[in-house]
Amino acid sequence: MPERGCQDAQDTRGHISTTADAKAPGAAATAAVRRTSLLVTLVLGGLTALPPLSMDMYLPALPEVTDALRSPAATVQLTLTACLAGMALGQLVVGPMSDKWGRRRPLLIGMIVYVLATAVCAFAPNVELLIGFRLLQGLAGAAGIVIARAVVRDLYDGVEMARFFSTLMLISGVAPVVAPLIGGQVLRLTDWRGVFAVLTVIGVLLTAVVWKWLHETLPADRRHSGGVGEALRTMGGLLRDRVFTGYMLAGGLAFAALFAYISASPFVVQEIYGASPQTFSLLFGLNSVGLVVVGQINGKLLVGRVSLDKALGFGLAVITLAATALLLMTSGVFGEVGLAPIAAGLFVLMSAMGLAMPNTNAQALMRTPNAAGSASALLGTSSFLVGAVASPLVGIAGEATAVPMAVVQLASAVAALLCFLLLCRPWQRKRESPAAAAGASGDPARQK
């Protein structure tokens, strides 16, 4: 079957699935949620924006935390690693929980714990306690990430789901733009502890919004009744699906290149190239705008006209080229370069994430309609764990060189491209029908 025909069939399958669901018990609530799609988009965008808010508002304060808590930069960077690792591990727990008990209850519990952990971070007297509660903050904040993706899978399918993920990037992409700017302005008025105070208020507001407006999207008849054993078997089946695993690894490794930039850029831009916290915040925001704009081009112009695999492959190739250019510049191949060329390379790398991130999620979740929570957990966990490994590596040579950042970015980009080509094998799957894809997936419900 031609590639476009395969995508049309996927889209048609999404409409058939929607019609069938409308006749199923509990589908009335799902249909009601879909009718309020703008409100759902805003709520889910807020949930997916929580991780970049939690990390990016804090970025301009990293040098100040280093001085205030009298800790080396590598140790302070562990506060980022701890939050990221918590978000990774928390998804493995919350994802299967949401498949068993529904989306709403685990989400609300996670949000309440997030607010409490963030408030404690604001009063941490030493870096060890800060690292510990950043870990708890990440564990609790994982609920928003994994359940937002699962809700999208509950409500949409096929090309429609890919478009929705791109739309989510418009909402959640505002967070990386605004967060460093807010963080920089908070530092004008108070110290780094004020950043966590602001995050606590944001957490309280988002919890209230979820409580009032996000209704249950997983009907009782579609929930899994098993315990830990069934959850592990479901995840094992997903991982045995070569194509799902390929998309999962490609997305996770692309995220590692992104997080290498997130964790290293405060020191690279401010310490090596002498920019102020406000200049750093503006550059970081500009890069995030690039990601959002490309994400919207993907959702509004490319999806439905160009196959998701072609858009994804092009995005991964651009990320690899940008990382190569950054390594050449930071290692001195072109002589001593200033901030402008480095900023341009980072802008291209960040913008290309707008093609990689929504399309890996959509392609992977298309294969798992009846295990969306577990699939979302695996997608998120792989991304955050790889990112957590990348974070300390970028500072391994100290604060005087940007070469480790570029090396980590290039290695991650090349590995992501290889996983996409060798495991997903898009040129073979042009002839694969949606039914065959569903049968090959690790979704136990589909295989029965």
The mean pLDDT value for 353-371 works out to 85
| Distance from chain centroid for Cα 136 | 18
Q: Return the minimum-mean-pLDDT range out of 223-237, 242-256, 303-317.
A: 223-237
Residue 173, pLDDT score:
63
Q: Return the minimum-mean-pLDDT range out of 69-73, 333-337, 397-401.
A: 397-401
Beta-bridge partner residues of 303: 306
Given a cut of 90, whether residue 51 has pLDDT beyond it is no
Answer whether 355's CB lies under 8 Å from 285's CB: no
**What does the alpha-carbon distance between residue 40 and residue 147 come to, in Å, rounded to a whole number?**
13
Given a cut of 80, whether residue 344 has pLDDT beyond it is yes
Residue 399, pLDDT score:
61
Q: Return the minimum-mean-pLDDT range out of 5-14, 310-319, 376-385, 404-413.
A: 5-14
| Distance from chain centroid for Cα 217 | 21
Residue 19, pLDDT score:
36
**What does the alpha-carbon distance between residue 356 and residue 350 come to, in Å, rounded to a whole number?**
10
Q: Give percent of the chain with pLDDT exceeding 70.
A: 83
Query: Residue 355's CB: how many other CB atoms inside 10 A?
Result: 28
Residue 176, pLDDT score:
63
- CA-closest candidate to residue 176, choices 330, 387, 368, 347: 347
Q: Return the minimum-mean-pLDDT range out of 74-88, 97-111, 202-216.
A: 74-88
Residue 228, pLDDT score:
61
**What does the alpha-carbon distance between residue 237 and residue 441 come to, in Å, rounded to a whole number?**
8
Q: Could you give the dihedral angle defined by the CA atoms of residues 355, 247, 81 and 317, in that order, rounded to the nearest 10 degrees? A: -40
